[in-house]
Structure 1
């Protein structure tokens, strides 16, 4: 069995790659990290903790340590709990990230290749999803996961195109849920169209149904949405399981996750 990591590395250096105008998104890209090296700040911290002098330390070194800040619960590759979409889901109080059982997040998975079937800043159509499913040849696993490969792998955080991606609509989200999917994942920065695109649509039409309709569909059908996946090109179309295991963050609407495929 091969283990394939589908998780984006949380690297504070990536914050500097963001184009001007998108710097405000840094807290959902990577945390700020203060590094303490065993031969540097970690040495002083260790000596202070043990109430001794630096000269007393074995080999003259302390510990390696990191202090993280600006750590958003929707940081990097993360799992959205139903609470993220609203206070209720399927008419019941929305579950938090720690309400979700691990066996709900370890499931059979299919990959839908949407490259050439979707466009940047445009919703992914139900027809495109149906065509990708037909090409895959496998059915959606009941209670399983569907991962969308949209082609965003060709962009880095330094490219404006990273934040101009195809997004899901209410209709598309409900279609996948109705097929039996419980976990919905994407290689894009977000599940819906970008905030800038949704805001412009609202200004143009005055129709508030365009605002975050992909996520809000999770109020009608409970699903767990996973964003900023990577390395989907390494996966077969079907016949494998994925673990979507988030940090156990009490009462949270989401948490960063280590997402690993078992192929």
Structure 2
């Protein structure tokens, strides 16, 4: 038997989003007038509904494509979300427990090695790694925007150079919170403090899955498959994604 575990948040307006989400509803009765008919022309006095949604491609659970990080990756034009190979979006899942890393701090190579050792797993090409920070418990609050650790540039390189094409996190972003990075940059003048995980994608192609959720529902850190196919928004740097954990159970 196959069991599916939803690893996505609901896309909606919430204090956990940095930008607003608006949904304008065309209800079942009004839908008839758009077609030049009346509700009474339809069975049960109702036509069909529709919604107009205004949001960014980085709203809700989504995938960042290489184009989001810069115009080139490895010296070649960076792929937009509609150019991402589907093969990169389906593979063995690896949940790494980094819940002990304090909010605002970086998830280092040492943290990743320790998490891998704890589950006795060796990374393989095609693995989809998801970082379990526990930050999704804050979903629905403004604290979700600022209270989580983020992957370092070195940590990103460690995963990608092991053959990982997609890295997910159950937090607002893969890098540390925006304010933490900006404060470090202003204090040190080091440009490398700004979005290092993202900017590593200018060196080697990889995908980010941000605002993943519900990782505690996975029964084990490995032994599941991740499906994370993005909406193919032409020429965009990101696309909304329903991330699902797939388990084959006897």
Q: Any stretches of 5+ residues in structure 2 without a counterpart?
A: none
The aligned residue for residue 84 of structure 1 is 68
Partners in 1 of 2:196 and 2:108 — Cα distance? 13
SS at match of 1:220: coil
The aligned residue for residue 56 of structure 1 is 41
- Give the TM-score, by structure 2 length: 0.93
Evaluate the alpha carbon distance shift between residue 248 and residue 220 of structure 1 in structure 2; reply closer, same or farther with a 3 A threshold: same
Partners in 2 of 1:98 and 1:112 — Cα distance? 28
1:161 Cα offset (Å): 4.9
The aligned residue for residue 68 of structure 1 is 53
SS at match of 2:243: strand
- Tell me, yes or no, if the aligned pair for 2:32 and 2:38 is still in contact at 8 Å: no
- Tell me, yes or no, if the aligned pair for 1:47 and 1:57 is still in contact at 8 Å: no
Partners in 2 of 1:88 and 1:161 — Cα distance? 31
Partners in 2 of 1:48 and 1:112 — Cα distance? 50
The aligned residue for residue 33 of structure 1 is 23
The aligned residue for residue 6 of structure 1 is 7
SS at match of 1:226: strand
Candidates 91, 99, 103, aligned match of 1:120 = 103
Partners in 2 of 1:225 and 1:95 — Cα distance? 13
Candidates 223, 230, 236, aligned match of 1:239 = 223
1:260 aligns with 2:244: yes
Pairing of 1:161-240 with structure 2 (within 5 A): 161-235=144-218, 236-240=220-224
- Give the TM-score, by structure 1 length: 0.88
Partners in 1 of 2:34 and 2:83 — Cα distance? 39
SS at match of 2:241: strand
1:140 Cα offset (Å): 1.4
- Tell me, yes or no, if the aligned pair for 2:66 and 2:201 is still in contact at 8 Å: yes
SS at match of 2:32: helix
Partners in 1 of 2:183 and 2:40 — Cα distance? 62
Across the two proteins, how many residue pairs are aligned to each other?
245
Evaluate the alpha carbon distance shift between residue 240 and residue 54 of structure 1 in structure 2; reply closer, same or farther with a 3 A threshold: closer
Q: Which has the larger helix fraction?
A: 1
- Which aligned segments of 4 or more residues in structure 1 are displaced greater than 6 angstroms? none
1:206 Cα offset (Å): 1.0
SS at match of 1:255: strand
- Tell me, yes or no, if the aligned pair for 1:78 and 1:227 is still in contact at 8 Å: yes
1:157 Cα offset (Å): 2.6
1:248 aligns with 2:241: no
Pairing of 1:140-159 with structure 2 (within 5 A): 140-159=123-142
Evaluate the alpha carbon distance shift between residue 159 and residue 68 of structure 1 in structure 2; reply closer, same or farther with a 3 A threshold: closer
How large is the RMSD of aligned CA atoms in angstroms?
1.6
